[in-house]
């Protein structure tokens, strides 16, 4: 009966996301993306909220109906997922955005940090590194395996982040 989780999560998403988008738009929280389309912002916060809300019925069904819907390791990964979502929101909301002077890429943020400037992109990178080190810890891994797991997690997160180089780009 593990198939039950997917339709429950989709149903919650279909309720929460449109309401969240309307709420953002009604509050005037919209941005124009690079194509000129006006999008609710921060849409990522609405998607993260929908995922969190979906945990409630899934946790209830997992515990009370013994459906085995939530992997026990999910508790280990939640701080990373929520933390990275928050750091991305922080960078999109408070970052320098499209300005020419904004540091770009790992080298650009490192250069700005050496120059005494802490960009929101550097905060996101350092925060993701700290979160990765935290969630990988406590598993009794050898040093090389621990570092490899942290590096893999950071690189995968960076790859995902490259899909949205500019706030409100994805539509």
Q: Please report, for the chain, the start and end positions of each structural domain, with discontinuous segments joined by +.
A: 1-70, 72-171
- pLDDT class of 170 with cuts at 50, 70, 90: very low
Give the residue-averaged pLDDT of 50-57: 92
Instruction: Tell me what pLDDT residue 45 has.
Output: 85
Give the residue-averaged pLDDT of 95-106: 63
- pLDDT class of 69 with cuts at 50, 70, 90: confident
Task: Report in angstroms the alpha-carbon separations of 91 from 44, 120, 127, 140.
Answer: 12, 5, 11, 33
Whether omega for the bond prior to residue 23 falls within 30 degrees of 0, making it cis, is no
The end-to-end CA distance of the chain, in Å, is 34
**What digits encode the pLDDT tens for the residues 114-154?**
888 888 888 888 999 999 999 999 888 899 999 999 999 99
Instruction: Tell me what pLDDT residue 98 has.
Output: 52
Neighbouring-strand partners of residue 40:
30
- Whether 154 and 129 have beta carbons less than 8 Å apart is answered as yes
The DSSP annotation for 56-104 comes to HHHHHHHHHS----S-TTHHHHHHHHHHHHHHHHHHHHHS-TT-TTS--
Query: What is d(CA 162, CA 156) in angstroms, rounded to the nearest whole number?
Result: 10
């Amino acid at each position: 009966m593990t198939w039950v989780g997917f339709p429950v999560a989709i149903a919650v998403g279909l309720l929460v996301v449109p309401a969240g988008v309307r709420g953002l738009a009604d509050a005037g929280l919209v941005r124009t993306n690079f194509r000129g389309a006006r999008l609710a912002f921060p849409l990522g916060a609405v998607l993260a909220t929908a995922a969190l809300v979906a945990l409630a019925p899934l946790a209830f069904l997992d515990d009370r109906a013994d459906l085995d819907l939530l992997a026990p390791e999910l508790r280990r990964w939640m701080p990373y997922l929520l933390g990275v979502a928050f750091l991305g929101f922080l960078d999109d909301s408070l970052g320098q955005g499209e300005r020419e002077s904004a540091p770009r890429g790992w080298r650009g943020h490192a250069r700005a940090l050496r120059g005494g400037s802490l960009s929101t992109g550097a905060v996101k990178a350092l925060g993701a590194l700290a979160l990765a080190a935290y969630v990988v810890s406590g598993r009794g891994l050898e040093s090389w395996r621990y570092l490899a797991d942290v590096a893999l997690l950071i690189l995968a997160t960076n790859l995902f982040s490259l899909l949205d180089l500019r706030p409100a780009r994805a539509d």
